[in-house]
Amino acid sequence: MKILFISHDASRTGAPILLLNLAKLLLKFKEFEVTFLLKNGGILEEDFSSTSPTYFVKKNTSKKGFWDYLKTKKCIVEDKGFLNKFDLIVSNTITNGEILETIRKNYGGKIISYIHELEIGAKAFSNEAKHNKNNKKLIAILGSMFNCK
């Protein structure tokens, strides 16, 4: 099974580390092939790249917004040939909502979005939550479902 893991960045924070560890675990089984798509770079870029092939939505940050970037360049999230070679896409955070919107238009398979942000984070990224909610091919795993007391 070919899986594309999407991370909002490669920072040394919870979501990217969780995704990297999950990929490393899956790679212990021969039936899984993993590729990473990073929305932004970060200190863990080399860790991602040394684990599996790694692509970037945008390698460097600029003053232009994300949608301006998409308008000026053919972006990997618009590449049907690239996206549709995967059996599954897994997104690690609600903040990927804006690129998932574009991916959905170009990808025919299933998308799993691991939404681990607490309610306050979800409200802060309400626009991304809307993108995720409107996806009929999306399986969302909400971190708050696993709230242990």
Q: How confident is the model at residue 4 (pLDDT cuts 50, 70, 90)?
A: very high
Lowest mean pLDDT among 6-10, 55-59, 140-144: 140-144
Q: Which residue reads 């860790």 in tokens? A: 47
Average pLDDT value for residue range 91-108: 87
Q: Where are the beta strands (DSSP E) in 8-147?
A: 33-38, 54-56, 88-91, 110-115, 138-142
Return all residues near 93 (Cβ < 8 A) that are at least 6 apart: 7, 8, 15, 114, 115, 116, 117
